[in-house]
Amino acid sequence: MGRVNRGWKGLKKSTKTDFATYLGVIAAFVLVNALRGGGMLSSSLTGQLVPICCYIVMALSLNLTVGVLGELSLGHAGFMSVGAFSGIIAAMSLQRAIPFAPVRLAVAMAVGAVFAALAGVVVGVPVLRLRGDYLAIVTLAFGQIIKDLLTCLLVGYDSDGLHMAFNLSGTLTINDLGLKEGGIAIIKGAQGATGTVTIASFAAGFVLIMIALAVILNLVHSRSGRAIMALRDNQIAAESVGINVTKYKMMAFVTSAALAGAAGALYGLNYGNLLASKFDFNTSILVLVFVVLGGLGNMWGSIIAATVLYILPELLREVRDYRMLVYAIVLILVMLATNNAAIKGFFARIFRREKGGAVQ
């Protein structure tokens, strides 16, 4: 039986979708690079490539928490900021140790992922005992707390290594770190990370998306993934068959946080200046919008939603002052359209007809 069913048609539907997702991402990468090489890509689009990659990974990772685990998290930008700032600190202080930028970027992204995962554990242990609205509120609070803490952080680097201070009184400045001659200020409290050497690249963004996809899709289709989804569908039933609730919730939550951290590191290293206030509630909601529009639990949907919704406001610069108004209207229309039975039925019919034609 196995032998007969080998090949594309014999694969499970979910496996086909996964392959199509990987292939789509690779095709998009090749296409964009070809256009770039031919000088066909505007600088506006070129500049958006890295942030788009970051937001795609953010959407994918949040989709793991919201779509697969079924818990509403409103503090996802908090993990992004932990990853961004730890990644920047790593990249800036390793400048001499690792002169080759791509390797330094990879190390920074790994550091960002580790620190965000740690934050995920710290937040996850108490938070995952809560459910539904309560969990949403606590994650929201986490996002705020981490933003305020990062605002107080002073970090510098000199020949003695890293110097850190916590500016709780609000009266310390970067000069209080006592940096030696030739030292660099990496994070200046409220001024954020200033003077960051930007080493982020589109290729790194592509690799990160592929890693995120591989991690998430493999997790979802594994035995653990089925346990996680069982928790989403009915926690009591899942517990009754012996699924360890805390373990599987933590697994999904921490994986999600780690990926967000890596995306944050890439994002942070794409801009010369990064403020902690960038990662506020609005950013969390923005990513949540990508996830909801793309479809809960639907990874390729998240990728497309993040890309389209990121580029859209930039394309709308033509209409000037009405930009944000148009953006909002488009959002509402897309929401309506994707949930409209008539439109869904329309596409389903076309699909069926094509399929039918192919069989005949």
Identify which range of 9-17, 40-48, 65-73, 118-126 contacts other proteins by CB under 8 A. 40-48
Q: How far apart are CA 14 and CA 24, in angstroms?
A: 15
Q: Does 323 bind other proteins (CB under 8 A)?
A: yes
Q: How far apart are CA 28 and CA 209, in angstroms?
A: 12
Q: Does 190 bind other proteins (CB under 8 A)?
A: yes
Question: Pattern 70-99, binding to other proteins, x per CB under 8 A?
Answer: ------------------------------
Q: Does 43 bind other proteins (CB under 8 A)?
A: yes
Q: Does 222 bind other proteins (CB under 8 A)?
A: no
The residues that bridge with 165 in the sheet, in sequence order, are 154
Q: Does 181 bind other proteins (CB under 8 A)?
A: no
Question: Measured from the CB of residue 209, what is the shortest distance to other proteins in angstroms?
Answer: 19
Identify which range of 22-30, 166-174, 218-226, 352-360 contacts other proteins by CB under 8 A. 166-174
Question: Measured from the CB of residue 19, what is the shortest distance to other proteins in angstroms?
Answer: 33
Helix, strand, coil shares of the chain as percentages rounded to 5? 75, 5, 20
| Contact with other proteins (CB under 8 A) among 275, 286, 308, 312 | 275
Distances (CA, A) of 342 to 9, 103, 335: 29, 50, 14
Question: Pattern 134-163, binding to other proteins, x per CB under 8 A?
Answer: ----------x---x--xx-----------
Number of CB atoms found within 10 A of residue 107's CB: 17
Distances (CA, A) of 98 to 40, 92, 158: 34, 10, 16
The residues that bridge with 153 in the sheet, in sequence order, are 166
Which C-beta is closer to other proteins: that of 23 or that of 40?
40
Whose CA is closest to 244, among 228, 261, 257, 263? 228
Q: How far apart are CA 188 and CA 123, in angstroms?
A: 26
| Contact with other proteins (CB under 8 A) among 34, 40, 237, 337 | 337
Residues that contact other proteins, how many (by CB under 8 A)? 54
| First-residue to last-residue Cα distance in the chain | 24
Q: Does 258 bind other proteins (CB under 8 A)?
A: no
Q: Which residues of 191-209 are buried (b: 16+ CB within 10 A; e: fewer)?
A: bbbeebeebbbbebbbbbb
Binding residues for other proteins, rule: CB under 8 A, are 42-48, 51, 144, 148, 151-152, 167, 170-171, 173, 188-192, 194-195, 198, 271-278, 280, 314, 317-326, 329, 333, 336-337, 340-343, 345-346
